[in-house]
Structures are given as C-alpha cells and as structure tokens.
Amino acid sequence: TICYRDGRCRVPFCCASPLLHCSLSLPWNPSCLKLRMAEIGIAACLCLMLAMAAGGALGSSPCDDPSVANLPFCNPDLDLVDRVKDLVSRMSVTDMISQLGNTAPAIEHLNIPAYQWWSEALHGVASSPGVSFGGKVPSATSFPQVIGIAATFNSTLFYEMGQAISTEARAMNNVGQAGLTFFTPNINIYRDPRWGRGQETPGEDPYLTSAYVEQYVAGLQFGPDQRYLKTVACCKHFSAYDLENWNGTDRFHFNAIVSDQDFAETYFPAFESCVRVGKVSSIMCSYNAVNGVPSCANNVIQNQIVRNEWDFSGFIVSDCGAINTIMADHHYTNTTEETVQVALRAGTNLNCGGFYQKYAMEAYNKSYITEADLANAVGPLFGQRMALGMFDPTHLQPYLNISTDQINSPAHQALALDAARESIVLLQNDGSLPLSAESSLKVAVIGPNSNATETMQGNYHVSPLTPPPTHTHTHTLLYHSSL
C-alpha cells in the first residue's frame, strides 16, 4: 500500500492512477514516483515536482478539489453533524458498504481518498497496516510497556506519554507513514496472571486502569489546537476479555459469564471513564462472548449502555476478524446475512477485516439490513475523519506542520527514560542496594529472560535505534539464561 502524507493510502496501482491526483496526493514512496514517471511521462513528473514544491510542509485536503469544494460537507463553518449528514446522503449503498472495513477504498465521485483505519500506538507508534518505518522515520520513541507505566502511579506521566506519542503520530502522518486512528489503549482488567497480553494493560485494578485511560486518551486525542482531534484513540477490547487459550477454549470461542455486580465493579469502570472522562472517539469490541452474546453483536452493551447511558458518539470497531467470529466460532448466527444484521444493528460500525465489505451487499439485497442501517454505521466513521481535519482546508490545521524532527526528539527520549526509571518497583531490599560504585563489581542478570531484549520491549513495540547495553557506567553486566 502506498500512503500519502495525510494518511490516505492506495494500493500499488496508484502509481498508474490518473494525473488528476497529482496535485492532491504526493506519493512519498520513491519507487512509486519512479513508476509514475515512467508510465505517465514528463508532464506528470513535472506536475509532481511542482506539487511537491508547492506542498511545503503541509498535507492536502480532498476538499481543495473544485468538484466538491462547494458542497456542504466541505464547509468548515458548518456543524460537524450536518456535514456528516450531507456527505452520507451523497453516498450510494455500494459506497457505504465499501467503507465498513479497516482498508477503506476511495470514493471517486466524492473525491474521498482511501483510508487505512488500523494503526497502533500502545507505548509508541508501532508497526501496523497503517504505520510504516523507514526513510525519514526509521524508528519512534519507545516507552516502557504499559504494565510498567501503570506502576508509576503517575497521572501526569500517562498524559505526557500520550502527548509525545500523538505528536510523533502526527509527524509520521504528515509524511505518509501513519494513519490517525490508533487501536490503543488496551484496558482489559488483568484478572488472570497467565494472560500473555496482561502486559499491555495497566493491571488488575479498575481504579488505576481508569486513571490511566482518562489521561492517556486525553494525551492522544487532545492537543494545543482546540479545533481538531490530534489523533483518535480506541479503548479495547470490550468486554470481559483476558483469555487467549486455556483449558480447551480460546478467545474466539470463550463465553465469559459475568454478573451485573462484576460488570459494575470490575469490567465497566475503565471503559466508562474512557468514554465519559477521556471522551474517546472509538471502542473496539472483543472476540469473546459475554453471557452468551458475542461482544460485537451485543446490542444491550453497545447501544443501550455505551451509546445511550454513557453518551458515546464515536464509532465501534470489531477486533480483527471478530464479525466472522460471531458466526464461525460462536455459532450465534448461521448465515452471513444474519451476521451482518446483528453486528450492524448492535452498533458495530467498522469491521477490522473484510466481512462487512464482502457480505453486506447480499444482506442488503435480501432485506436483512436497510440503507438506514448503513448510514448509521458510516456516519460516525466520517464524523471522526472530519474531526481530525481530513476534509478541512490545510491552512486551518496546525498539526499538519508537525515535522519529523519531533520524532525521537531529545525531550521524548528524556520522558521515556524518566518513565522507565519511575516504573521500576523495588519489592524488597535486604541491604544490597544501592550497589557500591566500585568499578570492579560485576553484575549478573540471571534467568531465561536475562537477555531477551525483543521480549523485554513488550507487545506492540517499535524497534529502538540503539542496541541494549552490555555495560553500565561502572559495572560489567553478565547474562546467563538459566539458573
């Protein structure tokens, strides 16, 4: 996929796409550029170079194009709700269905660019379909894994980390190396210590998890510019998910039996804080079922509780493949049409995966879903893209000026180092600490993870620029992998 500086992406045939786009979208990928030159000749090449020169540090807006510039959805002075209504009213059923997967194609007649919804940023912008490293951005700042971040009990740090990451995300988006919608944070309550993904979460405590999510989401979404979202965060995975594969069941088949009291005390508080206080723009529904209903098909939880009681107005995205799971693993439905119907009507707007895109048309033809169901699904998706500024004039958007020198900046590196220091928890000191400064002292780091430097970076990590140390300032470090 070739991505542009404003986060729009095209599959490789973009290189052969008509000249029309060259003033709107500047390919950052040199091989794409070369191909284009070869295929469409000197005129295109000139046009590209001019566009690049004119583009400066800024991205571009699909609404710059005269074919749509005067339509209400392109008018930044109108209310966002009205702009979304206008845009959705111009879409056909086919257009709407095309937008319901994480890899959303362009809608040519409305000049809407393709978009990749799936980017990751758990503790630093991380590789994912919407994020690529290389070229101008070989790496990004890597913060400690979240279980360690939470151990700092430092709300200021949670927020500052979100701000640093969203700044790097914007800088990457401006050069076409990241989207603006991040499937983070993971705020599942870590009830079972054997859960391998527990490290991604702030732990087992609903109170600390709420404190973390309020600040981290605010740091990701809201910056100095009041007008636009800095990025879109996503509280996941809703709900009652903390099992991968145990005792003959896995996350795709697991049915969590949860009492009302346990929901109120354990599983809801962090998500409620995320929505009400963090003002998050998206939520991800989980693979598992809860009390017999697959999460992404749960009308009561998603519509009655989250949307109506908690006033959530963003979008709900399925975990990747979780619409298919409703039918194939939970057997909650028997046909693709029913599956599309229950998931859409339960308020799952977007499918990470291609199930909706593949099967919604047939469901529509057979009257399992209506045009209104599709409009309800698509509206919040474009609402968030607009809130990010994707359909507004570039001169209104200071975030488009954030440059790549903000990535791995000394300030962000210092914050990450401070976070790592604050996250260390001393459980017991028998008097050996602090270590003597004597330079001949050798320190042994023992155990199977002693030098597991990849594992130590945690799930969803970015590759650091520097290799791990073999010496401290004064001491030699010795590693041994077994006791």
Catalytic residue among 6, 95, 242, 319: 319
Work out whether 6 is an interface residue with ligand NAG (CB under 6 A). Answer: no
Q: Which of 110, 95, 90, 142 is nearest to 390 (CA)?
A: 110
DSSP state of 38: H
Q: Whole-number minimum distance, CB 20 to ligand NAG, in Å?
A: 26
Q: Whole-number minimum distance, CB 337 to ligand NAG, in Å?
A: 10
Q: What angle do CA 201, 203, 206 make, to 5 degrees?
A: 105
Instruction: Considering only residues 350 through 369, tell me which ones interact with ligand NAG, judged by CB under 6 A.
Output: 361-362, 365
Q: In this chain, which stretch among 95-103, 119-127, 226-234, 392-400 interacts with ligand NAG, using CB under 6 A?
A: 392-400
Q: In this chain, which stretch among 3-11, 22-30, 153-161, 270-278 interacts with ligand NAG, using CB under 6 A?
A: 153-161
Q: Which of 88, 114, 111 is nearest to 375 (CA)?
A: 88
Q: Whole-number minimum distance, CB 259 to ligand NAG, in Å?
A: 18
Identified binder of ligand NAG from the candidate list 75, 299, 418, 464, rule CB under 6 A: 418
* Token pair in block for residue 127: 């590789």
Work out whether 133 is an interface residue with ligand NAG (CB under 6 A). Answer: no
Residue 112: φ, ψ to 5°: -90, 125
User: Got the DSSP string for 150-167?
Assistant: HTT--HHHHHHHHHHHHH
CA distance 115 to 5: 12
Catalytic (active site) residue 319: yes
**Spatial contact of 268 and 239, defined as CB atoms under 8 Å apart:** yes
Identified binder of ligand NAG from the candidate list 186, 333, 406, 408, rule CB under 6 A: 333
> Please, which residue, 2 or 462, has the CB nearer to ligand NAG?
462
Instruction: Considering only residues 420 through 459, tell me which ones interact with ligand NAG, judged by CB under 6 A.
Output: 422, 451, 453
CA distance 123 to 144: 7
Q: Whole-number minimum distance, CB 423 to ligand NAG, in Å?
A: 11
Work out whether 157 is an interface residue with ligand NAG (CB under 6 A). Answer: yes
Work out whether 156 is an interface residue with ligand NAG (CB under 6 A). Answer: yes
Work out whether 398 is an interface residue with ligand NAG (CB under 6 A). Answer: yes
Q: How many CB atoms lie within 10 A of CB 204?
A: 15
Identified binder of ligand NAG from the candidate list 248, 410, 431, 469, rule CB under 6 A: 248
CA distance 118 to 131: 8
Q: Which helix (H) or strand (E) holds 476?
A: strand 476-480
Give CB contacts under 8 A, 24+ apart, made by 424-431. 424/151, 425/151
Q: Show which residues are catalytic.
A: 319
Residues lying near ligand NAG in the complex (CB under 6 A) are found at 154, 156-157, 160, 247-248, 333-334, 361-362, 365, 395, 397-398, 401, 415, 418, 422, 451, 453, 470, 479
